[in-house]
Structure 1
Amino acid sequence: MELVLVRHGEPEWVIEGRNQNDPALTARGRSQALRAAGRLADPGAEPIDGPVDHLLVSPARRAAETAEPLAEALDLPPTTNGWLLELQMPDAWDDQPIEVAHEAFAQQRGQPRQAWWDGLPGAESMREFHDRVAGGIDAVLAGWGLTRSAEHNLWTVDGDAPERVVAVAHAGTNSTIIAHLLGVEKEPWEWERFHMGHASVAVLRTQPLAGAAIWSLRALGDAGHLDLPDRTA
């Protein structure tokens, strides 16, 4: 099975100096989404290796708008999955001066690891976020006949598993899925370890090994479909 993770296009986080908790895409973000759709709809374009069976989408506006041209190009109905949402910021930040968010993030960067797990005041904790995303991907995969062994992060793969699934989500969500499927020790800053720019692509494939299978990372942050000026972080 192949799992293709797409990060949403560039979002418009700031409107007239005020933070948007659920932003729409910028004009460049919409262009990025169109380019990503064209690439993923081409069954011969690397790193994708064939037609797509399912399209999963985060309910966040920026992810849904990124998925629209992809759903049309693939002729697939998108399935909204709440567990794909990015780490949720405080509701009180919505429509507040952007400096409120900037100052909070700047303070967090210097905090010890445990404080990172606890998260920002009023936000979803990083611990809750990790559990939500890991539980969500495990449940979806189990429904398709893929289950993790209790030993050495080996997986059993049912013969009825889909060949290819695309999920349109976020930097934090996608990086957490990658870390979880690879079986690496979880950290509260996965998006720093497994970086993906806007509208870039990561690809994981199951690889038969040791009488079972592992997840193999085949591409990370691939943005070959975007011109250099259109590659944003």
Structure 2
Amino acid sequence: MEILFVRHGQPEWARGDAPQMDPGLTEVGVRQAALVAERLGTRGAGEIVTSPAKRARETAAPFASRLGVEPAVVDDLLELRLPDWTNLSLMEVASKFREARAREPHAWWDGMPGGESFRAFAQRVRAGMLQMLAARGIRLVDEEHAPIFSVEKDLGRVVVFGHGGTNTVAMTVLLGMPCVPWEWERCALGHAGFLRLKAVPLGKGHIFSLRSFNDLEHLPRDLRTI
């Protein structure tokens, strides 16, 4: 079986000068989502899973509609929770991001001041991912040398619509990689980019193998955004 993580399409982070805390997709993002569905539609999926965020659900919608299925929403796959900046201007939000990025690396573990810490975020994504897999018969049984999973049955392909942070943190969990609070920079996924992991036998269990990262072949150059 394989897990195909898809980052959401380009989000509409602002309307006028008003920041959007749960944005939907821009026109470009809508086109990206349609191209995701077109590419994935040729192979289908055993199941579609999505973050509860509007941008992720809107990216999943064309593919889910094509298959005639309802995506399973996993709350813990929500992106790192930011502070509530509803009453700030775009310039003020941009200033807060610049200040946060200028911090020393150890301070990045605390997340944005007033928002979710990266430590809590990473723990949440790990728990949510492992619970989601366990509910489908894929259980973590050993972590001494590498994450080893028991796989009760081949689920085919599970497509997960998430975020730049959640998708890469989930990848580190399944591959046994150390996780850092600058995953967005270390393992950068473009909008609507694919990250594919495949379960392969190892001893009496299975490990996950990275097969592709930031696959954007379904998007023409003028629709590739970050």
**TM-score, normalization by structure 2:** 0.95
Residue aligning to 1:118: 110
The question of whether the paired residues in 1 share the 8 Å contact of 2:151 and 2:206 is answered with no
| Secondary structure at 1:220 match in 2 | strand
Calculate percent identity across the aligned residue pairs.
Answer: 40
Residue aligning to 1:60: 53
Residue aligning to 1:46: none
Please state how far the C-alpha of 1:190 moved relative to its aligned partner. 1.2
User: Which of 177, 188, 191 is the aligned partner of 2:181?
Assistant: 188
| Secondary structure at 1:178 match in 2 | helix
2:2 is matched by which residue type in structure 1?
Answer: E
Residue aligning to 1:217: 210
Please state how far the C-alpha of 1:87 moved relative to its aligned partner. 0.6
RMSD over aligned Cα atoms: 1.3
Q: Does 1:207 align with 2:176?
A: no
Q: Summarize the Cα distance change of 1:144–1:161 in structure 2 as closer, same or farther, 3 Å threshold.
A: farther
The question of whether the paired residues in 1 share the 8 Å contact of 2:147 and 2:175 is answered with no
Please state how far the C-alpha of 1:34 moved relative to its aligned partner. 0.2
2:129 is matched by which residue type in structure 1?
Answer: I
Q: Distance in 1 between matches of 2:28 and 2:105?
A: 35
The question of whether the paired residues in 1 share the 8 Å contact of 2:4 and 2:194 is answered with yes
Q: Distance in 2 between matches of 1:154 and 1:86?
A: 23
User: Following TM superposition, where does structure 1 have runs of at least 4 consecutive aligned residues deviating by more than 6 angstroms?
Assistant: none
Please state how far the C-alpha of 1:23 moved relative to its aligned partner. 0.9
Q: Deviations over 1:72-93 (max 9, x none)?
A: 12222111111111111112x0
| Superposition pairs of residues 138-177 of structure 1, within 5 angstroms | 138-148=130-140, 149-177=142-170
The question of whether the paired residues in 1 share the 8 Å contact of 2:199 and 2:209 is answered with yes
| Secondary structure at 2:180 match in 1 | coil
- Structure 1: any 5+ residue segments left out of the alignment? 44-50
Q: Distance in 2 between matches of 1:158 and 1:120?
A: 37
Q: Distance in 2 between matches of 1:134 and 1:20?
A: 27
Q: Distance in 1 between matches of 2:63 and 2:223?
A: 18
The question of whether the paired residues in 2 share the 8 Å contact of 1:206 and 1:215 is answered with yes
Q: Summarize the Cα distance change of 1:224–1:10 in structure 2 as closer, same or farther, 3 Å threshold.
A: same
- Structure 2: any 5+ residue segments left out of the alignment? none
Q: Distance in 2 between matches of 1:157 and 1:68?
A: 31
Q: Does 1:31 align with 2:31?
A: yes
Q: Distance in 1 between matches of 2:187 and 2:173?
A: 12
Q: Deviations over 1:23-50 (max 9, x none)?
A: 111111100000001101112xxxxxxx
Q: Distance in 2 between matches of 1:189 and 1:137?
A: 20
Residue aligning to 1:41: 41
Please state how far the C-alpha of 1:96 moved relative to its aligned partner. 2.1
Residue aligning to 2:82: 89
Please state how far the C-alpha of 1:152 moved relative to its aligned partner. 1.3
Residue aligning to 1:198: 191
Q: Deviations over 1:188-217 (max 9, x none)?
A: 111222211111111101111233221111
**TM-score, normalization by structure 1:** 0.92
Q: How many residues align?
A: 225
Q: Distance in 2 between matches of 1:95 and 1:9?
A: 25
Residue aligning to 2:15: 15
User: Which of 97, 113, 123 is the aligned partner of 1:131?
Assistant: 123
Q: Summarize the Cα distance change of 1:6–1:223 in structure 2 as closer, same or farther, 3 Å threshold.
A: same
The question of whether the paired residues in 2 share the 8 Å contact of 1:205 and 1:217 is answered with yes
